[in-house]
Structure 1
């Protein structure tokens, strides 16, 4: 992820992941991590789109 996403997108991902990790703590361990990753990617995709191999801000 680090080499492909712009710095701002990485910051969005990290903030969303950490927030989801805290917010979905009641899920089972496997669901907990998967949910946090899904929430984080959704947050990135709301602000960025992938054009070929490059992530561009919307």
Structure 2
């Protein structure tokens, strides 16, 4: 189900991503939810879409997620 704010995101997201990346994840998840929730494995698809959105703006460097500079 869609998340109302970043405090509702899964622990794996909140504990690893900086706040801005969590906001990206939240927006991408909620947008994708509207289109894919009805599909088989829809929730898994939506989580993958949200992670892909984060990975367009952030990359993992060691244990930290850092912004990708243009």
Query: TM-score, length-normalised on structure 2?
Result: 0.75
| RMSD of equivalent CA atoms | 0.9
**Greater RCO (Cα-Cα under 8 Å, separation 6 or more):** 1
Query: Which 5+ residue runs of structure 1 have no aligned equivalent?
Result: none
Number of the residue aligned with 1:53: 63
Query: Which ranges of 4 or more aligned residues in structure 1 deviate by more than 4 Å?
Result: none
Q: How many residue pairs align between the two structures?
A: 56
Query: Which 5+ residue runs of structure 2 have no aligned equivalent?
Result: 1-12
